[in-house]
Chains A and B, each alone.
Chain A
Amino acid sequence: MRIFDPHIHMSSRTTDDYERMYAAGVRALVEPAFWLGQPRTSVGSFTDYFDALVGWERFRASQFGITHHCTIALNPKEANDPRCTPVLDVLPRYLDKDGVVAVGEIGFDSMTPAEEEAFRRQLALALEHGLPAMVHTPHRDKEGGTRRTLELVEEAGVDPGMVVVDHLNERTVAAVDERGCWMGFSIYPDTKMDPDRMVRILQERGTERVLVNSAADWGRSDPLLTHATGTAMLAAGFSEDDVDRVLWRNPVEFFAQSGRLLLPDGETDGRVAGGGAPAPDPGSTFEGNSVLRGERVS
Chain B
Amino acid sequence: MPKHPLSRIELLQGTLDFIILQTLRWGSRHGYGIAQMIRATSNETLQVDTGSLYPALHRLERKKWIEAAWDLSENRQRVRVYRLTAAGRKQLAVERTRWEQISQAIAGIMRPPSTETKS
Please indicate whether A and B come from the same complex rather than being unrelated chains: no
Give the interface of B toward A (CB within 8 A). none
Residues of A within 8 A of B (CB): none
